[in-house]
Amino acid sequence: MNTQPPAGSLVCVGIGITLGSHISPLARSHIETADVVFVAVSDGLVELWVQRMHPDVRSLQPFYQTGKPRMQTYRQMVDAMLTEVRAGKRVCGVFYGHPGVFAWAPHKAIETARAEGYRAHMEPGISAEDCLYADLGIDPGTRGCQHFEASQLMYYRRRLDPSAWLVLWQIGITGDHGQNRFSTNTAYLQVLVDVLARDYPLEHEVIAYRAATLPIHPPRIERTTLARMPHLTLDAADTLAIPPATPMEPDPVTRARLAALDMVRADAVGT
Ligand SMILES: C[S@@+](CC[C@H](N)C(=O)[O-])C[C@H]1O[C@@H](n2cnc3c(N)ncnc32)[C@H](O)[C@@H]1O
């Protein structure tokens, strides 16, 4: 009996955010040695750069269309990659940032390929989140850090912890509910402000952040208040970061339990 996996394979790689400087040697090697490369990246310049690494680079960008349901776009991307995997090709999907961060298609493509018996895996990349920690000087371990998709935060009741950082992705398309719109407006952003105002004072600082996609550009770091947030000019590459607004609240009950355990351990060590 043949126990070998079928010939086709899939790897989804991330090439980071800043053109040319974030790609890992492993990601580059997967691109160069694939039979077919699919690419979904932040701008045309990045796509041209990937094209220089392989003679058969196919853009997934044309699947995006205003008004087309986002899920339909993503499924078409998955289908495009899987068609070549099923044809026995070594397929490399190239995504900007980290291919598994706020990115449905790479996860789904890998899951589907594996379910059909093909070899498939993901190589991490430097995401916008990584750049944000570096540019804003945030250590997520200090106060904790919550990440949400901006629209999801409005459509669902989530429990925010204002003593930690809050990072809102896709702030530039706030209000999009899967219709693949490419912008937002002050009315949608005001709804988001009203939701956030349940946990944050209106005068609290918020930061519009955009990591540099070209090495010659500085990052965008624009500070304003929550109340004024709807007046920010935002695009699809912006992320909103909200610093902690309250101190961390000590938990006396759990502290007492831990102290009791410390005593038991100290006694055991002493005997
Ligand atoms: C579909 S997600 C893709 C994220 C990507 N996979 C990553 O790892 O960064 C798009 C969102 O990522 C964030 N993003 C993308 N490029 C960015 C940049 N240059 N600076 C800051 N955030 C960015 C924004 O919140 C944007 O709406």
Q: pLDDT per residue over 66-91, tens digit each?
A: 888 889 999 999 999 999 999 999 99
User: Catalytic residue at 64?
Assistant: no
CB of 127 shorter than 6 A to ligand 1: yes
pLDDT at position 177 is 73
Q: Which residues contact 154 (CB under 8 A, 6 or more apart)?
A: 174, 175, 191, 192, 195
User: Catalytic residue at 70?
Assistant: yes
CB of 206 shorter than 6 A to ligand 1: no
CA separation for the pair 104, 75 (Å, rounded): 9
Taking the centre of ligand 1 as the mean of its atom positions, its distance from the CA of residue 169, in whole angstroms, is: 7
Question: Tokens standing for 62?
Answer: 């044309």
Span 245-267, pLDDT tens digits: 999 999 999 999 999 999 998 88
CA separation for the pair 34, 208 (Å, rounded): 37
Q: Which residue is it, tokens 């090697």? A: 29
Beta strands 220-225; 57-59: pairing state: unpaired
User: Catalytic residue at 156?
Assistant: no
Q: 209 vs 269, which has greater pLDDT?
A: 209
CB of 22 shorter than 6 A to ligand 1: no
CB of 170 shorter than 6 A to ligand 1: yes
pLDDT at position 65 is 86
pLDDT at position 206 is 98
What's the whole-model pTM score? 0.94
CB of 204 shorter than 6 A to ligand 1: no
Taking the centre of ligand 1 as the mean of its atom positions, its distance from the CA of residue 269, in whole angstroms, is: 50
Mean pLDDT of all residues belonging to the chain: 94
Q: Which residues contact 5 (CB under 8 A, 6 or more apart)?
A: 117, 118, 119
pLDDT at position 267 is 84
The single residue of 28, 58, 70, 75 carrying the catalytic annotation is: 70
| E strand spans, the chain | 9-14, 36-40, 57-59, 90-95, 119-123, 145-149, 165-169, 205-210, 220-225, 239-242
pLDDT at position 231 is 96
Q: Which residues contact 237 (CB under 8 A, 6 or more apart)?
A: 42, 128, 172, 210, 213
For the chain, give percent helix, strand, coil, nearest 5. Answer: 40, 20, 40
CA separation for the pair 113, 38 (Å, rounded): 15
